[in-house]
């Protein structure tokens, strides 16, 4: 700042004072060092912020995926909780193409070599109440009218399943409910009813008096799996067209593991409880046959784990390697069923950078209440 003073000889003389070149350069250096420190702190903060946010996102995605499967699984077995139905082989035909499936509330397709499993959930989608009916007159394969003890709750368009001990079950569609005698029609005007009952009715006599008829209305048939891109996807079966539509539900899901909860106690348990968990079907009833109707009737719960991966890839070490997650690290993905292999992509191909990510595991046990409360 300027500083002036009067001199005895030069009273108007004024001297100007300021920073020297050295002082300016020192100030610039200090400012540059401060900027570098602030930028380093900001970069570190942003990196940790992204890690925290990606971990939070993975946890949210895993929780949402788990809730979606759990909510659907709780309805598994609705409408098919009678012993005559569980484990029954159901024969059907749509527009002349015959097919069959085993009637079970939940079915697990076990992924080979640690690949993701798939969970199939089956239930009735009947919105109105309906009670099982009994066939009162022998029903040969070629007949198109079925006499029952009641038609309450049955409506045209409903899918029905006939069942009798020692025989396969048959899927049909109601086309009419005539007045007069208590009966229903299943004419070939429906694509689910082949002419003459070919390929779907037990041979040679069809169903005899006393067989049961169950009204499903329609089928809730959902399959949850993980696609090659790491999305939890849903395959939704449509009975009107006999086709399934596939839609992605949640992203960032890299693995799905599931287990059946069996009651393996000898005899005929009167209270359903889980005594053994298994990735695949077992001889739960001790009959000597794995996966028969007796085994399916002893499934009382489903246990599954969802593995979500963070979107943010962690920074590698100076040598280019990562060790955020390893097969021996404390944070490796694991659940009650054991360790979960995330070193591969969902399609089974190797994932070289899997150790650079963080993973969140969401584990859920779902009691199959419709099986626990059956009959």
If you ran DSSP here, which 8-state letter would residue 95 be given? T
Structure tokens at 13: 């003389």
- Confidence label for 15 from pLDDT (cuts 50, 70 and 90): low
pLDDT at residue 50 in the model? 60
Residue 287 in this model has a pLDDT that exceeds 80:
yes
Asked whether residue 77 falls in the same domain as residue 224, the answer is: yes
If you ran DSSP here, which 8-state letter would residue 139 be given? B
DSSP per residue, 51-93? HHHHHHHHHHHHHHHHHHHHHHHTTTTTT--STTTTTPEEEEE
Cis peptide leading into residue 204 (ω within 30°): yes
Asked whether residue 192 falls in the same domain as residue 238, the answer is: no
- Between CA 326 and CA 251, with CA 336 as vertex, the angle to 5 degrees is 65
**Domain-ending residue, one of 193, 217, 241:** 217
pLDDT at residue 206 in the model? 93
Q: CATH number for the domain including 195?
A: 2.40.10
**Domain-ending residue, one of 183, 217, 251:** 217
If you average pLDDT over residues 233-262, what whole number do you get? 93
Asked whether residue 305 falls in the same domain as residue 336, the answer is: yes
If you average pLDDT over residues 127-132, what whole number do you get? 80
Residue labelled with tokens 């109707």: 293
Q: For 262-272, b where at least 16 C-beta lie within 10 A, e where not — what string? A: bbbeeeeeeeb
Q: Is 267 left (phi over 0), alpha (psi -120 to 50) or beta?
A: left
pLDDT at residue 214 in the model? 92
DSSP per residue, 96-135? TEEEEEE--SEEEEPPGGGPPPEEEEEEE---S----EEB
If you average pLDDT over residues 46-64, what whole number do you get? 70
pTM attached to this predicted model:
0.83
Burial of 30 (0-12, 13-18, 19+ CB in 10 A): exposed
Adjacent-strand bridge partners of 159: 173, 217
Adjacent-strand bridge partners of 257: 305
pLDDT at residue 260 in the model? 97
Asked whether residue 326 falls in the same domain as residue 229, the answer is: yes
Helix, coil or strand: residue 201: coil
Q: Are 112 and 280 in contact (CB under 8 A)?
A: no
Asked whether residue 199 falls in the same domain as residue 331, the answer is: no
Asked whether residue 251 falls in the same domain as residue 350, the answer is: yes
CA distance 371 to 375: 9
| Number of other CB atoms surrounding residue 59 within 10 Å | 16
159 is a domain residue: yes
CA distance 104 to 270: 20
Asked whether residue 200 falls in the same domain as residue 283, the answer is: no
Residue 162 domain boundaries: 126-217
For residues 314 and 306, the model is more confident at: 306
- Confidence label for 29 from pLDDT (cuts 50, 70 and 90): confident
Residue 221 in this model has a pLDDT that exceeds 60:
yes
CA distance 252 to 51: 15
Judged by average pLDDT, the poorest of 105-114, 145-154, 190-199, 334-343 is: 190-199
Q: Which one, of 121, 359, 364, 109, lies nearest residue 254 by Cα?
A: 359
pLDDT at residue 272 in the model? 82
Asked whether residue 226 falls in the same domain as residue 341, the answer is: yes
- Confidence label for 231 from pLDDT (cuts 50, 70 and 90): very high
If you average pLDDT over residues 53-65, what whole number do you get? 78
Share of the chain above pLDDT 90, in %: 53
Longest distance between any two alpha carbons in the chain, whole Å: 140
Share of the chain above pLDDT 70, in %: 90
If you average pLDDT over residues 298-307, what whole number do you get? 95
Q: What are residue 238's phi and psi, to 5 degrees?
A: -115, 115
37 is a domain residue: no
> Cα-atom radius of gyration of the chain, to the nearest Å?
34
**Domain-ending residue, one of 202, 217, 232:** 217
7 is a domain residue: no
173 is a domain residue: yes
pLDDT at residue 54 in the model? 53
Asked whether residue 140 falls in the same domain as residue 203, the answer is: yes
């Amino acid at each position: 700042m300027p500083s002036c003073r009067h001199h005895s000889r030069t009273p108007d003389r004024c001297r100007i004072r300021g920073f020297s070149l050295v002082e300016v350069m020192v100030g610039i250096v200090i400012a540059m060092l401060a900027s570098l420190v602030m930028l380093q702190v900001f970069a570190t903060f942003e990196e940790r912020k992204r890690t925290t946010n990606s971990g939070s996102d993975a946890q949210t995605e895993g929780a949402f995926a788990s809730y979606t499967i759990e909510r659907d699984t709780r309805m598994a077995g609705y409408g098919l909780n009678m012993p005559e139905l569980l484990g029954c082989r159901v024969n059907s035909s749509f527009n002349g193409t015959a097919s069959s499936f085993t009637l079970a509330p939940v079915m697990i397709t076990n992924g080979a070599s640690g690949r993701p499993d798939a969970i199939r959930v089956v239930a009735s989608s009947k919105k109105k109440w309906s009670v099982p009916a009994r066939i009162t007159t022998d029903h040969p394969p070629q007949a198109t009218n079925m006499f029952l003890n009641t038609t309450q709750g049955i409506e045209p368009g409903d899918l029905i399943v006939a069942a009798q001990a020692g025989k396969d079950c048959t899927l049909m569609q109601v086309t009419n409910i005539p007045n007069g005698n208590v009966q229903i029609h299943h004419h070939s005007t429906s694509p689910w009813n082949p002419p003459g009952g070919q390929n779907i009715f037990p041979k040679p006599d069809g169903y005899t008096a006393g067989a049961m008829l169950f009204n499903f209305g329609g089928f809730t048939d959902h399959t949850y799996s993980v696609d090659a891109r790491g999305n939890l996807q849903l395959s939704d079966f449509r009975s009107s067209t006999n086709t399934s539509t596939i839609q992605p539900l949640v992203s960032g899901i890299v693995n799905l593991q599931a287990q059946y909860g069996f009651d393996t106690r000898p005899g005929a348990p009167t209270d359903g409880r889980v005594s053994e968990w298994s990735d695949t079907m077992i001889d739960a009833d001790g009959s000597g046959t794995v996966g028969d109707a007796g085994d399916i009737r002893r499934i009382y719960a489903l246990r599954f784990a969802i593995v979500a991966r963070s979107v943010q890839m962690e920074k590698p070490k100076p040598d280019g390697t990562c060790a955020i997650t390893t097969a021996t690290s404390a944070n490796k993905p694991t659940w009650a069923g054991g360790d979960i292999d995330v070193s591969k992509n969902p399609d089974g191909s190797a994932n070289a950078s899997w150790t650079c990510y963080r993973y969140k595991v969401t584990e859920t046990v779902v009691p199959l209440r419709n099986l626990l409360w059956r009959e």
